[in-house]
Structure 1
Amino acid sequence: MTVASLPTGKILHRKHKNDLGLALGFLTPATIGLVIFFIYPLIRGIYLSFTKYNLFTDPQFVGLDNYSRMMKDPVFWNAIRVTIEYVVINIGIQTIVALVIAVLMQRLTESTFVRSVVLSPFLVSNVVVALVWLWILDTSFGITNAVITSLGGHAINFFSSELAIPTIAMINVWRHMGYTALLLFAGLQGIPGTLYEAGKIDGASERRMFFSITLPLLRPILGLVLIMSVIGSFQVFDTVSVTTGGGPVNASRVLQMYMYDLAFGRFQFGYACALSVALLLILMAVTFIQYRMTNAGSTDLD
């Protein structure tokens, strides 16, 4: 019997079975990686947060002692404050600058070369970016202070207690704003050009079209970008580690830096895991609030 003579239902059934096997074949490696590198460490970390564990002995169950200690830990609350300060500065400036760049790329040029130039800082490692800016902003030998002093000003310690977090935030703004701009630019491509043409016919200015057309229709992708950026900002570590190491004193000791110091500096893995669970809960709450506030699951194009 040839394939052509088979009933249509049998052909579709065989095709469905073949597609299912192919799909499972592609999904299996990713699923194994997800379980090994994400789900198991998550469950293991939550369990260790209820234990006293220093890597050299077996975990000892202590109940909620780690969480009770966390509530009374002034360094933890300082780390939360410093992290929130970093997130607000980084996300606020990065989103505004990236949105301006995305709109300029849409309205003025769609050159692939321009997009690659805008994205280029994101392709550089965080550690390399931090090292380069550490040299550029060095108080004694940095080119920034050389320019300031040549103009008659005084050298600025960009990594002092007052300026450490704003400086680190601006370094990461420089690195990530191109990537964020390209995500927003992709969202702008989904806005029909006829809407802007109608706005021009009605005599709307560029400013009016931006606030009445661009921003409302960009809301879903903007909400997604904000959620991704906030999650990434709460997990900042490498830039802080390279530039200040959490200092001076605790001025730039973000939550990830404090967790790393507890786990690998003091071998207090149980308490460090409790802090990581607290960060997980904070991110879940922030993500939920952002999703509801931005209404990112719907679009005004419908």
Structure 2
Amino acid sequence: MATRTAERARDDTRLALLFILPALIGFVVFLLWPTIRGVYLSFTRFNLLTPARWSGLDNYTRMVQDPVFWNAMGVTVYYVVVNIAIQTALAMVIAVLMQRLTRRTWLRGLVLTPYLVSNVVAALVFLWILDYQLGIGNRVLELIGLDRIAFLADSGWVIPTMALINVWRHVGYTALLIFAGLQTIPETLYEAARVDGANEVRMFRRITLPLLRPVMAVVLIVTVVGSFQVFDTVAITTRGGPVDSSRVLQFYIYEAAFSRFQFGYASAMSVALLAVLVVITFVQYRLTRAGTSDLAGGG
């Protein structure tokens, strides 16, 4: 009997490894190996035409002294702050409204619809809508008595505009993540609060927000990491203009690699971005105590 149990366990292990193998191969080929290769190339001079030559910390020294790199980093941080602030606030409002007013499945599908549109398509559509001369957006502004706005050609408007484009696309997905977190909060807590005379605002502050903290921590980590990697919208709409005001770090890395063939320097900037994301993720995780739940503690 013990022998049959041991054989069945071995068979299950082999079957599990067989199912895991395709994902493991994809992880090694498309993520792990490119990461290791990129870290190595960051210490070399490489332009595709000649073999990579070891250059030590030259690329990192150049990066620290490169004003365009620091401008790109600043523009990226500005974009992330605007995007995350607006997206999180809107997603929270949408999720709470779905939770408190209606939970119909078709509404969740409708909210998620923009997320099904690719970044490139969304950027192209808004490029036409917000065009200064022919865009319907500026036409609407004129009809209500306002002046036209160069949304994607004015240095003061370009980053908020791109942030709003991506908010439109991602806010539904973020709202559904928060909505899923709201489902884990027992309704009995709200019923007890109503008996005590608490209104909706107070219940949101004292019950919803504290118990939603682990979910919000994960949502913020995912959205911040994703926002730092913005590329498609910039590449389609402005290509870094006007005057570097929308040249985010991902686009600068792309230019260094595929316009100037400086793959070593582009790899160094990619490694620097990776390090920044690791630090931000670690700090967010610790500050938000994402691994603990007030609900579990209360139980």
Q: Identify whether the pair has TM-score above 0.5, normalized to the shorter chain.
A: yes
Q: Deviations over 1:261-281 (max 9, x none)?
A: 000000000000000000000
Aligned equivalents of 1:148 and 1:94: distance in 2? 24
Match of 1:35 among 9, 28, 33: 28
- Letter of the 2:26 partner, please give it: G
Match of 1:59 among 46, 52, 56: 52
Residues 13-22 or 33-42, more deviating: 13-22
* Structure 1 stretches lacking a partner, 5+ long: 1-6
1:214 has 2:208 as partner: yes
Secondary structure in structure 2 of the residue aligned to 1:276:
helix
1:286 has 2:272 as partner: no
Aligned equivalents of 2:192 and 2:145: distance in 1? 53
Match of 1:48 among 38, 41, 44: 41
Secondary structure in structure 1 of the residue aligned to 2:121:
helix
Q: What is the Cα deviation at residue 240 of structure 1?
A: 0.7
**Residue in 2 that maps onto 1:140:** 133
Q: Deviations over 1:204-223 (max 9, x none)?
A: 11111101111111111110
Match of 2:199 among 197, 202, 205: 205
- Letter of the 2:75 partner, please give it: V
Aligned equivalents of 2:69 and 2:261: distance in 1? 17
Q: What is the Cα deviation at residue 153 of structure 1?
A: 2.1
Q: Deviations over 1:201-254 (max 9, x none)?
A: 111111111011111111111100000000000000001111101111201000
Aligned equivalents of 2:29 and 2:4: distance in 1? 38
TM score, norm. by length of structure 2: 0.97
Q: Deviations over 1:92-141 (max 9, x none)?
A: 11001001100110111110110000000000010000011111111001
1:250 has 2:244 as partner: yes
Aligned equivalents of 1:148 and 1:70: distance in 2? 43
**Residue in 2 that maps onto 1:71:** 64
- Letter of the 2:269 partner, please give it: L
Query: Which one has the largest radius of gyration?
Result: 1
1:86 has 2:76 as partner: no
**Residue in 2 that maps onto 1:95:** 88
**Residue in 2 that maps onto 1:176:** 170
Match of 2:18 among 22, 25, 46: 25
Q: Deviations over 1:42-84 (max 9, x none)?
A: 0000000000100100001110000000000000000000000
Aligned equivalents of 1:76 and 1:112: distance in 2? 45
Q: What is the Cα deviation at residue 15 of structure 1?
A: 2.2
Aligned equivalents of 2:112 and 2:25: distance in 1? 32
Aligned equivalents of 1:219 and 1:22: distance in 2? 38
- Letter of the 1:82 partner, please give it: V
Match of 1:129 among 122, 125, 129: 122
Deviant stretches of 4+, over 6 Å: none
**Residue in 2 that maps onto 1:3:** none
**Residue in 1 that maps onto 2:104:** 111
- Letter of the 1:256 partner, please give it: Q
Q: Deviations over 1:21-54 (max 9, x none)?
A: 1110111111111111011000000000000100
Aligned equivalents of 1:162 and 1:176: distance in 2? 23
Aligned equivalents of 1:145 and 1:122: distance in 2? 25
Q: What is the Cα deviation at residue 10 of structure 1?
A: 2.8
Aligned equivalents of 1:138 and 1:182: distance in 2? 31
**Residue in 1 that maps onto 2:5:** 12
Q: Percent identity?
A: 61
Aligned equivalents of 2:201 and 2:4: distance in 1? 57
Aligned equivalents of 2:51 and 2:253: distance in 1? 20
Aligned equivalents of 1:202 and 1:19: distance in 2? 54
Aligned equivalents of 1:137 and 1:234: distance in 2? 24
Secondary structure in structure 2 of the residue aligned to 1:301:
helix
Q: What is the Cα deviation at residue 148 of structure 1?
A: 1.2
TM score, norm. by length of structure 1: 0.96
